[in-house]
Structure 1
């Protein structure tokens, strides 16, 4: 929840929640759970802290110029020594190093500090406290919390700090650039309608930052050595797209911009917006002339002026990487443009791969959506090659959420021993394929022996409190009253109209203790909103960063894990663990690493998931790998997992379901026990109506000819479209192409012959027949473990 003074910005009646409006002089500083944030404070500044998810203790320290830290300086009671902040200071938590550097630079001693302490105990989401500083100094706000044990639910969560400045500096720019990523070698501000050239050496980093959001910046890089010889070797969009196989590079495997000679010039290290122009010309004079604006300032002319110093002849149009410019090719093959996706502070971080002459612009276009009709400035920073920046993309849970960069899971280093092919998924890096194996060999390892995969990006939420069962009974389709402690149930979360928010599993840890594990943060946020709306004594707090998990799947998974997992007499052993049950266990022996093991998975095979704190992930993986390797266990990436789950008929968000699809239309009607669950739940009435009068159904298709269609390809009877493909794959074990498709119920009967359309949907047809799904192991004998190894 956000305080009342923070609201979505608007242009007339049009809301833009991604760019919230704060009152004049107000600043916003998120404080990560388990971490801290430091901000310079002046006398008279108002300090407000907000508990975003509830139950999170907040410690506040203000060091004045003479090195004293007393809560009376901001009108708060003295709560004693800031033990939580001291624990952060001594830890390896992400913000701890910055805190140590700041205190050392300022000559401040945390050991002498006193703090104010607010929230915790029964604080609600959105609770806030405000103070006014009576002296200038360094403010430190902490959201303390150590590593959460897997069988506990004390997860540290975010605090948000707001500072309302008593005296905003006169004449100060309306929006200042965000803090540098490190000490910059150069820090250039480019006003709208201008360009600047600058030189960068091999290995150095270039940060191009959109200060106020919605502003395009053209970027070009020329090989300095070639330029010295009178040749132009610059970024060529066509060559780059061809070599990278993408409209534009991004952090990860396909990250480089190339010259026409196919020489890499720069690579993308970080990108917080991930939405740029795909076509490659900076704005030019003729564009404005053809629009009726002769003489309008343009980026090409600006680049020409800057390049004169290097002896380059002017061009009518400069090819460029047009960062933040939002263009696309539509289905009619027409170039379309809209407002940029960039928010205030969004940036692209590049690394020079050779010595370069670079040019950056702040686009002057004020006649179209290119800059949201409001050109603003661009900041360019150059950092030393000795700096270290992790590859990352920007990720936001919701449109108005704070930016987070791609993270490494606790298991990333373990999988990195087997592959360098990682892709971003849901804010984390996950392996796509394993080097030297490939998706097919990984697949067969899972079907015939065992495979281990990283599923840490699954979203985890701790649902606790006296009304926890009541909240879940309202928010999910399954009957929580029938869920025993130690049991897991697969279910759906739906809106009032019956459309699905998410699917996932509920773990019951105690009478009033549940853990929700889904694919999207939207489900957890939705549950928290319902608790607040109804005034329930229930808390929904994110624990994704406290619980990372691998899955061990395949016919030999039980034999492997029984060598690794120790359980006390009060918990089931691996051999005793039933389907959709979990056990609280240890690795190796009674004093080993604490884990939770569930008999669940996403492959259609006998299998288990192991949850642990990220700090223990390497040791957990090593123990599993040591036991599994003699059994033929292999690591498995996302490509192989996709084959397995389609064969098993397991649905995936954005493919088989979305918020316009109810559980019956998504093929998981079994998660909605309308007859046995008597209590109401959100979306029940709409789902009952749709079940009684179905329109669409998810079906399996067998395809002829060996071609594999894509998601969204049309399914037709004659000329009429009757559905679309949701997922398709070539099944190794069945030896044919198969698909899941959503069809009109009039054509969904088993045995119905159809055609899958490609190209324009009419010119190319793939014969198909409706079949029972899951295509493979429809009675689920394998997942139940009632079969011999294949």
Structure 2
């Protein structure tokens, strides 16, 4: 729907407050968040996902009476009493209260609806502690209710001054805390091993960073960050901040290593702004980063330059498809930062860029803040992810199986907010691949997003939002499905587990799936359904390969009320135990992403290492091998299994993605999101997914164009060298006129015309197209 001129406005989620004076804070499951209130301040406690109890404790100078909010504290503050966090326990002590005797008022819980809120207004100054009690979700509980987070909204009677930025809390005790005022630069020294945090105070502000080897400077040798050397070692045409590794000087010595990046979308190694840039734009005498650097670095004996090549943090430039350098407003938000570790003693300089004549600082230069932390500190490697533009960021984290996988490899990659092995030391992708095809392999798939869909309206919600006919789903059955928008485009694919009449589990690839399901429930008026994230309560491994059944039969026990493990059918699951009836609870499903006979095993994170150890020990006689993402990609392409962002997107319908079987338009009579669009698309298909076999030994890559004659007729979505077929193969979205098996096409390289790889459309999937192996 087009916006009317009166409602049209520039949308900047996460940058502009939703209303003046509003502050928001999260409360994690099992955690406590404290806020100070002054007279007239209002606090709203929001149960974001529903069915999550809250404990609210009020402390003022009169004691823990609750009178500051006009309430009575009548229940034990169970979370506060058990809190081991010194910063939390210190607050009650400040008011002379024994944390072990703290009281609270309980809010929500039971069957509170998603979005339920309680509001309180302070009549005097007080500290309010809000806790989210959390009990681990039982894997074997049909009516599982995972703990979820709470939201606090504070509306100040006297709002903060609009220009008063709020810096993020220090990551540790800083050894240097330095503000760089807008349009200036500062030099500073850092010792080997120390951490440098560059913070964008108000958001959308560029900061150029220089670093020099301090010891070599003392010997009269100037060696700083070098773009060409770094480009060579990182393998990037235009090296970008992120977690790709180290930045080097021209002698190939590493100077700094990226540890954290909460932005992820910015660049590096353009020139810092300089006098010539402004002069050519008609602004002679304009302040610039290069001159500011020259003034700061003169005291270190570093010669002045007319333009400094710098590590450009929070600066949004890129090369477009025509290889033209373009730039726009930075992606950084208030408080975003890049954390680096010094690889040697450094002389550093950082700027708060003065550019106010173009979008590089959103036309308004602001401050940059520098914090340096002691080398004895440790910080996790991480990037930040936001589910929606205005959501709070979450940092990359390890899965519960990391204590075991980290002993087997150093080859980890950042995957959807988690660290997962790309391959395993002493094995490698080919060996891991063959282990899965011939014996058995185990892989960590914990980043899959899980959502408990609960309540009397749960079936109605899933029936109205998924392409499959959920009403036909039996207890103990799993079904693969697509989630589509109103145009028929795929939001995601996933599996649905039916645990009971009113209890389902949806497993997909994106946190947004849960948000979308909740939005649809609200749109449809289904107020007796809860969609609760359970990813943090269920981590899972997959054991795949011909020997997987025999291997797992030795360690998985199922009760008489559940199917016997050895008789578990394809796309069925059972709730059981590890070892015997006294073992840890688990759920095992006969599902996978390899094209082989295989299973996925789901446990609470606290039991993850015990499960891994048991599987590993049982797998020794079968040659069990760990399997990483690189080998998994080969397996799933051979098996014709699609991957989000490669083989489908919200511009691709299930028919175009090769999973039209998930859309039973004839047998599912109920309406669901996208049905009308899918009926039209099926009646008049334009593109479909096919398999290609390439001639020769040169591989295709995702995004390669596919031609018949001069015209492009398709695009490669995924490609690999198949170890089993000993051929290069690809998945291709192609015009239906060229989709018949046996059709000859050409895959374009270079500009798509100067070099072509002959290929042929073949039966798809490439490996075991009748699925005899996973069905066996």
TM range (shorter): over 0.9
Cα separation, 1, equivalents of 2:221 and 2:92: 50
Cα separation, 2, equivalents of 1:63 and 1:266: 45
Preserved contact between residue 655 and residue 726 of structure 1 (Cα < 8 Å): yes
Q: 2:168 aligns with which of 159, 178, 184?
A: 178
Map of 2:239 onto structure 1: 248
Structure 1, gaps ≥5 residues long: 1-9, 91-95, 786-790
Q: 1:101 to 1:458 in 2, by over 3 A?
A: farther
Q: 2:456 aligns with which of 463, 466, 471?
A: 466
Map of 2:78 onto structure 1: 83
Deviation at 1:383, TM superposition (A): 1.0
Report the more deviating stretch, 29-38 or 451-460: 29-38
Preserved contact between residue 151 and residue 509 of structure 1 (Cα < 8 Å): no
Cα separation, 1, equivalents of 2:754 and 2:93: 70
Cα separation, 1, equivalents of 2:676 and 2:43: 46
Instruction: Please list the CA deviations of residues 173-218 of structure 1 after superposition, one character each: whole Å capped at 9, or x if unmatched.
Output: 4222111111111211112101111111111111111111111111
Map of 1:58 onto structure 2: 54
- 1:744 matched to 2:735: yes
Instruction: Please list the CA deviations of residues 404-425 of structure 1 after superposition, one character each: whole Å capped at 9, or x if unmatched.
Output: 0001100112111110110100
- 1:338 matched to 2:328: yes
Structure 1's consecutive aligned runs of 4 or more residues displaced over 4 angstroms after TM superposition are: 100-108, 249-252
What is the 5 A alignment of 1:31-430? 31-65=27-61, 68-87=63-82, 89-90=83-84, 96=85, 99-100=88-89, 109-152=98-141, 153-168=144-159, 173-246=163-236, 247-248=238-239, 250=241, 252=243, 254-430=244-420
Cα separation, 2, equivalents of 1:632 and 1:566: 22
Structure 2, gaps ≥5 residues long: 1-5
Cα separation, 1, equivalents of 2:293 and 2:8: 35
Deviation at 1:104, TM superposition (A): 6.7
Cα separation, 1, equivalents of 2:694 and 2:172: 55
- 1:661 matched to 2:656: no
Cα separation, 2, equivalents of 1:19 and 1:508: 41
Preserved contact between residue 507 and residue 514 of structure 1 (Cα < 8 Å): yes
Preserved contact between residue 242 and residue 264 of structure 2 (Cα < 8 Å): no
Map of 1:641 onto structure 2: 632
Name the TM-score, length of structure 1 as normaliser: 0.95
Secondary structure, counterpart of 2:567 in structure 1: coil
Cα separation, 1, equivalents of 2:706 and 2:643: 19
Q: 1:526 aligns with which of 516, 534, 549?
A: 516
Instruction: Please list the CA deviations of residues 567-618 of structure 1 after superposition, one character each: whole Å capped at 9, or x if unmatched.
Output: 1111112201110000101111111111100000000000000101111111
Map of 1:755 onto structure 2: 746
Preserved contact between residue 209 and residue 312 of structure 2 (Cα < 8 Å): yes
Cα separation, 2, equivalents of 1:20 and 1:562: 56
Q: 1:79 to 1:531 in 2, by over 3 A?
A: farther
Secondary structure, counterpart of 1:575 in structure 2: helix
Deviation at 1:626, TM superposition (A): 0.5
Q: 1:550 to 1:760 in 2, by over 3 A?
A: same
- 1:781 matched to 2:775: no
Instruction: Please list the CA deviations of residues 728-774 of structure 1 after superposition, one character each: whole Å capped at 9, or x if unmatched.
Output: 10000000001110011111111111001011011110101111110
Q: 2:761 aligns with which of 745, 770, 775?
A: 770
Cα separation, 1, equivalents of 2:273 and 2:440: 55
Secondary structure, counterpart of 2:347 in structure 1: strand
Q: 1:373 to 1:235 in 2, by over 3 A?
A: same
- 1:15 matched to 2:15: no
Cα separation, 2, equivalents of 1:135 and 1:383: 38
Instruction: Please list the CA deviations of residues 615-668 of structure 1 after superposition, one character each: whole Å capped at 9, or x if unmatched.
Output: 111111000000012210100000000000000000111111111111111100
Map of 1:632 onto structure 2: 623
- 1:650 matched to 2:633: no
What is the 5 A alignment of 1:375-774? 375-536=365-526, 537-774=528-765
RMSD over aligned Cα, in angstroms?
Answer: 1.8
Deviation at 1:130, TM superposition (A): 1.5
Map of 2:22 onto structure 1: 26
Preserved contact between residue 89 and residue 99 of structure 2 (Cα < 8 Å): no
Preserved contact between residue 399 and residue 419 of structure 2 (Cα < 8 Å): yes
Cα separation, 1, equivalents of 2:503 and 2:224: 59
Q: 1:97 to 1:596 in 2, by over 3 A?
A: farther
Cα separation, 1, equivalents of 2:346 and 2:395: 27
Deviation at 1:151, TM superposition (A): 2.7
Secondary structure, counterpart of 1:289 in structure 2: helix
Preserved contact between residue 72 and residue 78 of structure 1 (Cα < 8 Å): no
Cα separation, 1, equivalents of 2:103 and 2:739: 69
Preserved contact between residue 478 and residue 672 of structure 1 (Cα < 8 Å): yes
Q: 1:11 to 1:618 in 2, by over 3 A?
A: farther
Q: 1:138 to 1:182 in 2, by over 3 A?
A: farther
Deviation at 1:235, TM superposition (A): 1.1
How many residues in Structure 1 have an aligned counterpart in Structure 2? Answer: 767
Deviation at 1:115, TM superposition (A): 1.3
Report the more deviating stretch, 331-340 or 766-775: 331-340
Deviation at 1:249, TM superposition (A): 5.7
Q: 1:11 to 1:713 in 2, by over 3 A?
A: farther
